[in-house]
């Protein structure tokens, strides 16, 4: 089995233990997607992702359609991170007794709306009666050239799509008993999977890519570990999302640190050779996605985050709490 | 969207409501697997299936390895029902606080052992902390000729693989506070997905096929509804599994009725033209799987079960309780 290095963290210790036990019974684990070679040289990309009430969402935060949309978007984001196009998804719902049939249908309607928005279909599913509401989405895509986490080279630039921190700003508002600002709320409730941006980044030569589900600080470490390189990131360059300045100020941290710590943005982090930079600037308007250069790749290991000349230490975000 | 008729039942009412809402955002739902055409004419087959503590298994019944094996086998059985070979699977685990890292690794070891037994690999996964233990397995396979539920023709024979009722006998023992007989326990804890038998049945011309996850009585209705035919099944011909006679006698029902009512056998039900019968008898020894002719296909609709000259009425098994 090919072992793909992961960054530090207890969740990743568990994955390493499972990989060690499975040995040859597992393919290479640890990238955004499993990749299966097809006869024409394309790769089929697959990933599975569970959204669980109480851990990933609450029913007093999101409508049933948004619960479905967000579950689908979070899984589809892994296809975006491979540079894949979307074929579709399968959704396994576990429904507690207080979820009506109409709510279950509304959740699936949100799943369908999200996958349809990025060109795919609902391919199948499963319904189970249980005690916790959960939506496990398995996405299926294909890519002429899949971009993994392990190809970053010294000299590449480090780029990010969209803006960061708004999903965390929404969570911070709910945590303090307030309703989030609409733009921050939408960032959390209806993130748009970056499929078009991911395909474009693959086309123009991205050397490594992943999606920011665990926050920039933690995810950058995975990319650095998998590629065997060091990343240097200037937090002053981060594209800051709506609602972040206000939420960061309430916690007395800088907006950039708040955004770098937050998980669940589902934006893409990619490394590209310098010659690709001009193409990104041209495409941003057409794709309606900002691309921002936030750092550079060097020989070495680990991630160095700095802000206003000072090195900053930031913990990764751990879904597995 | 192609609408595939399903048999009666509240679970299937829910699936029909979801299909109606999704409209063009869904592919044809309701078969064992989603099918995606590949460039060389093969089909990629995909299916997702949740195994949930309290609904599908209990920790005092099964070891962690068996929980993983059974979850994988139940999902892989859907590939068998398409006549597909196995590429691999993705497993999403939700783990409550009392499941140790060693238990989680043991569950994944069982998943890996099962998929490895039928020639596939663990391709990926997801770990989530939650309140209920669940394993959602998404299987991936490919088939040169996928066998759906809707091709049965009048004049075909109705065949079943293996033996029926042992998984239910194990459940009946546990329900009455006894440990099941080892052969019945193994039928429940470590069912062997009928991948080789499914591929063989596809090769020799199966016209329709599904796996017996909901019990012969209910699943036969799905096959009849999808194919637009009537099935005539002679319960006296059912191959009865180990432990069934004893368990049926405790409930004062005939072994055949006990076996026809039980779910979770994960054997295959297939319709084949009469000319295939000789090939099945030859292959049974080589594949080490019994094939039994239990009925016939006719013009009309619905399923007629009879035993010793009497027509028998049997309820389907509903996972979604």
Identify which of B25, B34, B113 has the shortest CB distance to residue A116.
B25
Nearest CA in chain B to A49: B126
pLDDT at A229 > cutoff 50: yes
Compute the distance between CA of residue A54 and CA of residue A31 in angstroms, rounded to an integer.
Answer: 26
Q: Tokens in use for A65?
A: 């359609």
Give the dihedral sign, CA B209/B212/B213/B215. Answer: positive
pLDDT at B30 > cutoff 80: no
Q: Virtual CA dihedral for A202, A207, A212, A218, nearest 10 degrees?
A: 170
Whether B176 has its CB under 8 Å from any CB of chain A: the answer is: no
Q: Are B16 and B6 in contact (CB under 8 A)?
A: yes
Q: Is B275 exposed, middle or buried (0-12, 13-18, 19+ CB in 10 A)?
A: exposed
pTM for this prediction: 0.92
Residue A14 — pLDDT band, cuts 50, 70, 90? confident
Q: Tokens in use for B61?
A: 């019944």
The pLDDT of residue B161:
97
| Residues from chain A contacting residue B92 (CB–CB below 8 Å) | 48-50, 136, 138
If one compares A282 and B154, the residue with the highest pLDDT of the two is B154
pLDDT at A106 > cutoff 70: yes
The pLDDT of residue A7:
63
| Residues from chain A contacting residue B87 (CB–CB below 8 Å) | 36
Sheet containing strand B157-161, edge to edge, reads: B208-211, B268-272, B157-161, B291-298, B230-234, B302-307, B310-312
Identify which of A29, A90, A128 has the shortest CB distance to residue B138.
A90
Residue A6 — pLDDT band, cuts 50, 70, 90? low
Which value does ipTM take for this structure?
A: 0.90
Identify which of B14, B29, B92 has the shortest CB distance to residue A104.
B14
The pLDDT of residue A321:
37
If one compares B319 and A153, the residue with the highest pLDDT of the two is A153
Whether B140 has its CB under 8 Å from any CB of chain A: the answer is: yes
pLDDT at B283 > cutoff 80: yes
pLDDT at B264 > cutoff 90: no
The pLDDT of residue A317:
53
Nearest CA in chain B to A40: B39
The pLDDT of residue A316:
57
If one compares B282 and B200, the residue with the highest pLDDT of the two is B200
Q: State whether residue A115 is helix, strand or coil.
A: helix
The pLDDT of residue A5:
60
Whether A41 has its CB under 8 Å from any CB of chain B: the answer is: no
Question: Average per-residue pLDDT in chain A?
Answer: 91
The pLDDT of residue B31:
78
Residue B5 — pLDDT band, cuts 50, 70, 90? low
Going from the N-terminus, what domains does chain B have, and what CATH number goes with each?
A: 31-143 (3.30.1330.10), 157-312 (3.90.650.10)
CA angle A297, A244, A247 (to 5 degrees): 130
Sheet containing strand B134-143, edge to edge, reads: B34-37, B43-52, B134-143, B85-95, B121-129
If one compares B39 and A221, the residue with the highest pLDDT of the two is A221
**Most A-contacting residue of B25, B31, B100, B211 (CB-CB within 10 A), to test interface:** B25
């Amino acid at each position: 089995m090919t072992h793909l290095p992961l960054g530090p963290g207890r969740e990743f210790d568990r994955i390493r233990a499972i990989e060690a036990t499975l040995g040859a019974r597992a393919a290479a684990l640890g990238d955004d997607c499993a990749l299966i070679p097809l006869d024409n040289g394309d790769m089929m990309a697959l990933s599975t992702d569970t959204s669980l009430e109480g851990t990933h969402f609450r029913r007093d935060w999101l409508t049933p359609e948004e619960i479905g949309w967000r579950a689908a978007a979070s899984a589809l984001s892994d296809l975006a991170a491979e540079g894949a196009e979307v074929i579709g998804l399968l959704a396994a719902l576990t429904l507690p007794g207080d979820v009506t049939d109409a709510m279950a249908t509304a959740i699936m309607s949100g799943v369908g709306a999200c996958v349809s928005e990025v060109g795919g279909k609902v391919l199948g599913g499963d319904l189970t009666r249980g005690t916790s509401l959960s939506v496990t989405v398995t996405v299926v895509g294909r890519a002429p050239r899949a971009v993994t986490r392990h190809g970053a080279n010294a000299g590449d630039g480090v780029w990010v799509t969209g803006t960061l921190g708004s999903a965390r700003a929404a969570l911070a508002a709910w945590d303090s008993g307030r309703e989030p600002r609409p733009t921050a709320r939408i960032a959390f409730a209806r993130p748009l999977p970056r499929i078009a941006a991911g395909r474009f980044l693959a086309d123009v030569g991205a050397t490594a890519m992943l999606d920011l589900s665990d926050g920039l600080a933690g995810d950058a470490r995975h990319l650095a570990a998998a590629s065997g390189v060091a990343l240097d990131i200037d937090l002053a360059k981060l594209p800051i999302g709506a609602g972040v300045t206000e939420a960061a100020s309430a916690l007395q941290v800088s907006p950039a640190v708040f955004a770098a710590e937050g998980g669940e943005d589902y934006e893409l982090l990619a490394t590209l050779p310098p010659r690709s930079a001009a193409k990104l600037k041209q495409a941003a308007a057409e794709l309606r996605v900002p691309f921002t250069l936030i750092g550079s790749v060097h020989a070495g290991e680990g991630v160095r985050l700095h802000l206003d000349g000072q090195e900053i230490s930031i913990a990764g975000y751990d879904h597995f709490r």
